[in-house]
Amino acid sequence: MPETIAKPVEAPSGLERERLPRHVAIIMDGNGRWAARRGLPRLLGHRAGARTVRDVVTESAKLGIEALTLYSFSSENWKRPADEIDGLMALCQEHLVAERDELIANGIRFRTIGRLEGLPPAVQGELRRTAEATRACAGTTLVLALNYGGRAEIVDAMRRIARRVASGEIGPEAIDEAMIDAHLDTAGLPDPDLLIRTAGEMRLSNYLLWQISYAELHVTDVLWPDFGVDDYHAALRSFAARSRRFGGLNPA
């Protein structure tokens, strides 16, 4: 099957393509508050948030963003009411089916991170089918973090490395940052350059703890269902205006 890639469009005014982040990670917060302010069930807030996902994913593909990782369901989210969890799983399954052709049309490759074995079998099946259907896409990589926690990811990576040490395949001295990177769920992806969090909360919530060591942070009070393309562009402009020194000094 030939590779499918969507041709990036011209970047919006004030955004130079070379200043765009390679990898954007988003904590999509505020669905419940959006619904509560309107006197609606929380699940309708999640459904409204799913429409925002579609817009942001499509815009990322148009701009040529290399990777977009969305915090969709954390390992801590199992503490929520059972009916909300069931609704979220059904919504995930529904949108995987509904958006599959659109992902292919936009050249978007789909993958996941997290302990997928903990998800309902029907959801796991649609995740696998979407990943396989978009395998030949060579544009933006869309990553859904599902049943994901940053600490759990690091634990799982350490276990994989420990098994290799125990088998004699490698020695402890072979373990370095590159090896740890290669055993994380995000292996093969660049680290996020920009982390966006909606709804104004000032915390990382156990998200990509290893990978965001040098990510630029952008927090907005806008609730996720109201986060539009203009808000996304504002976050990208904020990133583009920053000087990233990685512990060094400005060349000037």
Residues tagged active-site: 29, 77
Structure tokens at 40: 């609606």
Round to whole Å and give the CA distance between 170 and 161.
Answer: 9
Written as six digits, the tokens of 250 are 């400005």
Residue 164 burial by CB count (10 A; 0-12/13-18/19+): exposed, middle or buried?
middle
Residue with tokens 């817009």: 55
Residues sharing a CB contact under 8 Å with residue 239, sequence separation 6 or more, in sequence order: 19, 20, 21, 193, 194, 216, 218
Starting at the earlier edge strand, list the strands of the sheet with 194-197: 109-113, 141-148, 67-74, 23-27, 194-197, 216-219
How many angstroms separate the CA atoms of 244 and 238, rounded? 12
Strands (E), the chain: 23-27, 67-74, 109-113, 141-148, 194-197, 216-219
SS3 for 235-250, per residue? Answer: HHHHHHCCCCCCCCCC
Half-sphere exposure of 29 (CA within 13 A, CB side): 20
What is the longest distance spanned by two Cα atoms in the chain?
60
Contact 138, 107 (CB under 8 A): yes
